[in-house]
Amino acid sequence: MSSDKTPLQSSAVINEAVQTLRDGGLVAFPTETVYGLGADAKNAEAIQKIFSAKGRPSNHPLIVHLAAPDKFDRAQIDWLPLLTPWVRDLSDDALKLMNAFWPGPLTLVFKKDKSVLDELTGGQDTVAIRAPAHPVAQELLRKFKGGVVAPSANRFGKVSPTSAADVRNEFEGMLDLMVLDGGDCEVGIESTIIDLSSGDSAILLRPGVITPKEILAKTGITVYQLDEAKDQNLIPVLPRVSGSMRAHYAPTTPLRLYAPGRVLDALSEFPDIKSRVAVAVWDSESSLGEDGHPSVHFEEVEVPSNSTTFASRLYRSLRDLDQQGWDLILFPEPPAGEEWDGVRDRLQRACFGSGPSSSSHASN
C-alpha cells in the first residue's frame, strides 16, 4: 500500500480496535497478503465468533499473528521471548527463517505450547504463527500486546479480500464489525506456510510468494515439497493448515483454466454453450483474435505476465469479474516454475470450488 493514497489509520482508531479485541470483538485489518478477520487468540469465545461469521468448519486451524518487536538499533530482532508463550521449542532453522523473512508473508508451524487454545489449532498439537509486515497490522498488534488469530476476512471458501471495501461487501449484515482500512494489499495472496513441527525438516504446506528457492538462497535451509516429504517419510502426521481445502478462494461464476492456445477446449467443457465469457489473456501476448465460436461473446481481460504482479491482482480480478455477471471466466494456466506455484495453487482451488453451488462442496 502507499501511504500517499491511503492515510494510515489514526491512533484513536487503532486504540478503539485494540479495545474491541480486548472486549472479545472482531476486527478486520489489512496485512500485506490479504485482509484478516481478527480476534484475541487467548479468548475462546471470540475465536468462535470468527468461525460463525465466516461459516468456517471449526476443525480448520487459524494462524496467530504477532507484532514484530521494535528493532531500534539492534542488528537482529530477538524473536525468542515473543514465541515462547506459543511454541514448545524453537530450532535454529526457525530462528534463521524468522530473521530472514519476518515480518513478512511467511507462516511457520510449530508444536504448540500447552496453553495454546484447541479452538485455534483445530484440536491439533501444532500452531501456525506469522508476523505480518503491514504497518496497520503492526501497530494494531503492538498496541494489543498479544496474539491475534486472523483468517482471511471473507465467507469460508470464497475469494479473499484485498481491500477494506471487499471486507465490507462480504460482511454487509455485520454492522458491529470494525474494519481498519489500510489500502490495497501489496502481496495479494496468502502467506507461504512451512511446517517445522516434525523437528527435523522444513516442509512446504502452502505455496506463496516466498518460494523454497528463495528460502534456500537466503538461509541455506532446504524446504521439501509435500510429495518429497511423504516419499521420504519426513512427516509422521501432516498438520492441517489454512487454505488446504480442495475448494477454496472461489468465485460464484464458474472458473476454468485453459492451456496456451486452447480456449475453445476449455469452452467445450460446457456443452450448453455459455454466451458471455471473460477470457484472461497475458499482457505479453497478442489478443486471442476471433478464434471464434459464433454463439459466444468473449471479452478479453489482460493479466500480468509477471508472477508477483499477477499475485497482487489475482483476487481483485476474480472479485471484479464475479460481479460483472459473466457466464464463465477463463484464466490461462500459469507457467511452470516455483514463483508461480502460489497463484497456481489458488487458481486450482478456485476452479474446483467455483460456480453457483460452490458453497456446498468446499471439502478436502
- Rounded Cα–Cα distance for residues 83 and 194 (Å): 16
Number of domains in the chain: 2
Nearest CA to 308 among 279, 288, 337?
A: 337
Does 208 share its domain with 72? yes
Ranked by mean pLDDT, the top range of 77-86, 237-246, 355-364 is 77-86
Sign of the dihedral defined by the CA atoms of residues 292, 293, 297, 299, in that order: negative
Nearest CA to 280 among 260, 295, 265?
A: 260
Does 262 share its domain with 213? no
One-letter amino acid of 256: R
Domain contains 207: yes
Which domain does 295 fall in, by range?
255-361
Domain contains 341: yes
Does 104 share its domain with 155? yes
Domain contains 248: no
- Which residues neighbour 127 within 8 Å (Cβ) at sequence distance 6 or greater? 61, 64, 86, 87, 109, 110, 111, 112, 113, 116, 120, 121
Does 198 share its domain with 310? no
- Which residues neighbour 24 within 8 Å (Cβ) at sequence distance 6 or greater? 39, 40, 43, 45, 46, 49
Looking at residues 131-140, what average pLDDT do you find?
96
Chain segment 10-65, per-residue pLDDT in tens: 889 999 999 999 999 999 999 999 999 999 999 999 999 999 999 999 899 999 99
pLDDT value of residue 92: 93
Task: Please tell me the least confidently modeled range out of 54-58, 123-127, 235-239.
Answer: 235-239
Does 193 share its domain with 143? yes
- Which residues neighbour 325 within 8 Å (Cβ) at sequence distance 6 or greater? 276
Does 43 share its domain with 180? yes
Nearest CA to 193 among 62, 289, 301?
A: 62
pLDDT value of residue 4: 42
- Rounded Cα–Cα distance for residues 311 and 304 (Å): 9
Res 294 pLDDT > 60: no
Nine cell digits for residue 293:
465460436
Chain segment 184-234, per-residue pLDDT in tens: 999 999 999 999 998 789 999 999 999 999 999 999 999 999 888 877 777
Predicted TM-score (pTM) of this structure: 0.92
Nine cell digits for residue 194:
512451512
SS3 321: helix
Question: Would you tell me how many other CB atoms lie within 10 Å of the CB of residue 340?
Answer: 18
Share of the chain residues as helix, strand and coil, in percent rounded to the nearest 5:
30, 20, 50
- CATH label of the domain that carries residue 41: 3.90.870.10
Domain contains 294: yes
